[in-house]
Chain A
Amino acid sequence: MSDLDAKLIKMGEQIVSNCSFSNDQEVVIAKVADHLQRFWDPRMRTAIKKNLNDNPDAASDVLKNAVNQLTT
């Protein structure tokens, strides 16, 4: 995994940690996905999506599910 791919996962997990307030996992996933959709350049979204497809163990379930909800 490249340094950049690792950094994107780290940034994604930070978002997960700071959005993990609700006990409802779906709410958290939606919030993380919304944040990524609104603030990340599509190239970053595409990169993390591809990376997590290739390395499914590299991120939490919440992040993986959120990334899967991204439109790009």
Chain B
Amino acid sequence: MNVEFYKRFGPELDLGTPKVEADKSVSLKIDGAEIHVPEGTSVMRAAGLAGIQIPKLCASEDLEAFGSCRLCLVEIEGRKGYPASCTTNVEEGMVVKTQTERISSLRRNVMELYISDHPLDCLTCPTNGDCQLQDMAGVVGLRDVRYGYEGENHLQAEKDESGSYFTFDPSKCIVCSRCVRACEEQQGTFALTIQGRGFESKVAASQDEAFKDSECVSCGACVKACPTATLTEKTVIEFGIPETATVTTCAYCGVGCSFRAEMQGDRLVRMIPNRDGHANHGHSCIKGRFAFGYSTHPDRITKPMIRDSIRDPWQEVSWEEALSHAATRFKDIQKEYGVKSIGGITSSRCTNEETFLVQKLIRGAFGNNNVDTCARVCHSPTGYGLKTTLGESAGTQQFDSVMQADTIIVMGANPTDAHPVFASQMKRRLRQGANLIVIDPRRIDLVDGPHVKADHHLQLKPGTNVAVLNSLAHTIIDEGLENEEYIQDRCEREAYETWRDFVALPENSPEALEKETGVPATEIRAAARLYANVENGAIYYGLGVTEHSQGSTTVMGIANLAMVTGNVGRAGVGVNPLRGQNNVQGACDMGSFPHELPGYRHVSDGTVRAMFEKEWQVTLDPEPGFRIPNMFDYAVEGSFKGMYIQGEDMAQSDPDTQHVTKALMSMECVVVQDIFLNETSKYAHVFLPGSSFLEKNGTFTNAERRISPVRKVMEPLAGKEDWEVTVALSNAMGYKMDYSHPSEIMDEIARLTPTFTGVSYEKLDRLGSIQWPCNEEAPEGTPTMHIDEFGRGKGFFAPTPYVATDERSTRKFPLLLTTGRILSQYNVGAQTRRTENNEYHGEDRLEIHPADAEVRGIKQDAWVGIQSRAGETVMRADITERVQPGVVYTTFHFPESGANVVTTDNSDWATNCPEYKVTAVQAYPVSQPSEWQRNFKAYSKEQAELVSKRKRDDKAKA
């Protein structure tokens, strides 16, 4: 198969000013060449499109034109002077000259001034060879600096090395403002400014603070924008300029940013956000841009290991022996306890091809449907809720759609921390004037930031999402704000009328529910009007919606709200789940749920099953298998005995940790495949070393259904890509798999999945990315879904009765704990904890309101115990008004924090998604770790010794 999936990428071209979309084309001549460009295009960009590079320093395609460096001067026939080509737009019939004697002289003069206050240390400068100032000095033919270097200058300006990942060397700064503009326009943090005037002008972070102490969020936009060595990645300073680049996709959150992995041989020097990336348009966050050091961290385990008991030392073995051992153990268990006594977990961090193979292994080789994925514990209610109402288990839009939204609802999501690159785009739209409604128990940054403020913050009590949505819907019906024409045309009438009559009931009014939700009725009514009365209303939501006992009902309530206002089926609107991990959407698409084959088709559908049986040459079970919590329950009960876990750390991420570890300890064979010996591997019998996203080929699918290529930039440290391990395990189990490249797996996915029939690696290479559905009807993908009709035909208004959770505050447990994430850490922290990101967030803390802290005698930074009916843990207190009285909050990025020791087995009624977001707890000052933490420490020490004492096998080369 001729797949150009290893193609190399040249330097990123920069045409100087952003691309312009316009219906009208303008013709002009530049240096004698006739060119046609969209109206509104700059002369600089038009020249670039004609292959003429006009010298520039302050201009970048990523930023609006600024016109300060005066290097891009041109002559335009019939005009006086020498206008800057970046700030001058094309006009019909314009005749432009980019090179004349006069222009050359002016440009040299400008460069002369810059260089007169710039160190002449090019040969030892870290960006030697990758410096636009150096390039421009060459381009303009600078040979002399007549002013000399002895006068007053900035050459002794002090370097700021406070940032973990980049340095700021003001002696090399030309004050072009690119960094300041990048921070404003791309990131939207406004951390940088030009301080002072004239000669005193300088770039400053916040109030002239060190970068690390400032508002800077280390997104790296300023570093990418800098045309000199002023802002430089520390890896570039250490290693030098990269030699090659490959475009790949970030393995952190569900935004799925495209990056250029810039390399020296097989060493990754830096990750540069790809300007052509359809999800991120050249922007990035601290995780994707800088936190890649984990991939070569010494903690990586690169040899397979086995042991008979979890109290035995590990033993390094060959791949063949490890896989044979695992296969034999699994087969023996099935022989003794039955075919359905084992199962497995696909990973939302692995590629589509890898998750597809794991579920195929379980359905084909294991012979059952005991397959699940970590979406179970995050977005499984999205799958259920959107499939039920709209007919497709995915978000309806592309990220760019937000730029056309007039009112944005953010519910149970914290995009500036969890989806930062999309948050920057959303903030850009908000600064343009879009309205914002935040529905969240906690005051997230979007509510009251320095540059963005929510019009309404519906600060509900945890667990009352459905009540809030019902009261919003009640207002829309009560005040006649529904879009009757849309509903009549697009939705099932009978279901609508049933739902309408329900939400119209007095008990669903904002006034009636005010006490339950804690949200003033006037706020609810005002928010409902703000959403329903605009042209385009868009809803974005996260795990604060799904991780509840009514997670699925809440998702359906959101879809109902969008349908009743006619806000599905065009750009600027929609229902948009913000996915947590990089490939949660893909893992769900690939048939990772126990009741669904790839493409969300139920296992009981005989026609679908027959298609898979023919392709896979195996008989499939027509009944759903166990979900993750069911597997744990039946492991404790004694009939579920073995698990293959690829790339998920359930002992840390899943709720009720003590139940999870009891279940893992109850099993006879736990096989963990991961890049690190994670918490779950402490209970494993076989460890199969995984490959990072840099070490394999495949695809990820982000929150907007965008399938993006993952390209191998270095060889797998353990010798195998993850998909190869699954293939080998399947073959060892006796079920034949035969693939030579992940493109062949994608071809199989396309053959079997109606929404993927048009997807191929050839097309991904050509288009860069594809949003599914991609098939005959939509050969290049589908940015917006449900345009003429819903996936299910007519939209379905699902009933949404409010059922209060069992997790309610009581005398014993008077506070409600809710959990979340922070910008610099990711999920269980396995990756980010092994980077300098720890310097930004080194521990999980309990946020508690000052009033709750005071009555309990809890002091800032002091140790505080948190106890629920499930367990007890201890962490330090952070007293803050971000949380409301009666609510406490923490993150779960560090295993020793034990956040999930406290969370309970309560779960969503439809999907068993755990109720991480509501746990009744008590908090109190303590002086020592909890009993669980002491046991955890002792067990971790024991396991670490079993690893260090492992029987080494130098021949066990992967």
> Does B910 lie at the interface of the complex (its beta carbon under 8 Å from any beta carbon of A)?
yes
**Minimal Cβ-Cβ distance residue in A for B552:** A18
**Bound form: Cα–Cα A2–B637 in Å:** 9
State how many residues of chain B have any CB contact under 8 Å with chain A.
32
* CB-CB contacts below 8 Å: B889-917 with A: 905, 907, 909-912
Asked if A15 and B909 make an inter-chain contact with CB atoms under 8 angstroms apart, the answer reads: yes
User: Chain A residues near B569 (CB, 8 Å)?
Assistant: none
User: Would you give the 0/1 interface string for B613-632, flagging 1 where the beta carbon is closer than 8 Å to chain A?
Assistant: 00000000001111000100
Contact string against A for B residues 367-408, beta-carbon threshold 8 Å, 1 for contact and 0 otherwise:
001100000000000000000000000000000000000000
Determine how close the nearest CB of chain A comes to the CB of B467; give it in whole angstroms.
Answer: 14
Q: Is the CB of A21 within 8 A of B905?
A: no
Q: What are 21 pairs between A and B in contact, CB < 8 Å? A: A4-B636, A4-B637, A11-B909, A11-B912, A14-B549, A14-B909, A17-B803, A17-B909, A18-B550, A18-B909, A18-B910, A21-B498, A21-B502, A21-B801, A38-B595, A38-B604, A41-B369, A41-B630, A42-B623, A43-B626, A44-B630
A contact patch SS: helix
Known: A4-B634, A41-B370, A44-B630. 13 other contacts (CB 8 A): A7-B633, A11-B907, A14-B803, A15-B909, A15-B910, A20-B801, A38-B604, A39-B595, A39-B624, A41-B340, A43-B340, A43-B626, A43-B639
> Residue among A2, A15, A35, A44 with the most chain B CB within 10 A?
A44
| Nearest residue, chain A, Cβ from B905 | A7
B281 at the interface (CB under 8 A from A): no
Chain B 488-499 per-residue mask, 1 if CB under 8 angstroms from chain A, else 0: 000000000010
In the complex, what residues of B have CB within 8 A of residue A72's CB?
623
B429 CB within 8 Å of chain A? no
Give the Cβ gap from B871 to chain A, nearest Cβ, in Å.
Answer: 16
Quick one: which of A7, A11, A15, A40 contacts B624, CB cutoff 8 A? A40
- State whether A41 and B624 are in contact (beta carbons under 8 Å apart), knowing that A11-B909, A14-B909, A21-B502 are contacts in the complex: yes
Q: How many A-B residue pairs have CB under 8 A?
A: 57
B residues less than 8 Å from A44 (CB atoms): 630
Chain B positions 45 through 61: 1 when the CB is less than 8 Å from some CB of chain A, otherwise 0: 00000000000000000
> Which residue from A22, A35, A43 sits with its C-beta under 8 Å from B634?
A43
CA distance A38 to B322 in the complex (A): 37
Tell yes or no: B67 within 8 A of A by CB: no
Contact A41 B625 (CB under 8 A): yes
User: Is B553 in the interface zone, CB < 8 Å from A?
Assistant: yes
B-facing mask of A23-52, CB < 8 A → 1, else 0?
000000000000100111111100000000
Q: How far is it, in angstroms, between the C-alpha of A6 and the C-alpha of B630 when the chains are bound?
A: 13
Residues of chain A touching chain B, judged by Cβ–Cβ distance below 8 Å, are 2, 4, 7, 11, 14-15, 17-18, 20-22, 35, 38-44, 72
User: For residue B636, which residues in chain A have a CB less than 8 angstroms away from its CB?
Assistant: 4
Measured CB to CB, the nearest residue on chain B to A18 is B909
Query: Chain B nearest CB: distance from A23 CB in Å?
Result: 10
Specify which of B502, B626, B637 is in contact with A41 (CB 8 Å cutoff): B626
Give the docked Cα–Cα distance between A35 and B340 (Å): 21
B799 contacts chain A at the CB level, 8 A cutoff: yes
Instruction: Tell me if B412 is interfacial: C-beta within 8 Å of chain A.
Output: no
**A residues near B911, Cβ cutoff 8 Å:** 39
The answer to the question of B773 belonging to the interface, with a C-beta cut-off of 8 Å to chain A, is no
CB neighbours of A41 from chain B (8 A): 340, 369-370, 594, 623-626, 630
Q: Which residue of B lies closest to A35 (CB)?
A: B910
Q: How far, in angstroms, from A38 to B911 measured CA to CA in the complex?
A: 11
**Interface residue from A17, A20, A38 paired with B602 (Cβ < 8 Å):** A38
**Closest partner residue, chain B, to A37 (CB atom):** B604
Q: Which residues of B contact A17 (CB under 8 A)?
A: 801, 803, 909
In the complex, chain B residues whose CB is within 8 Å of the CB of A42: 623
User: Distance (Å) between the CB of B249 and the closest chain A CB?
Assistant: 32
Q: 0/1 per residue, B786-804, Cβ < 8 Å to A?
A: 0000000000000101010
In the bound assembly, the distance between CA atoms of A39 and B633 in angstroms comes to 16
CB-nearest residue of chain A to B553: A18
Chain B residues near A20: list those with CB within 8 A. Answer: 801
4 A-B pairs with the lowest CB-CB distances in the bound complex, closest first:
A21-B799, A14-B909, A17-B803, A18-B909
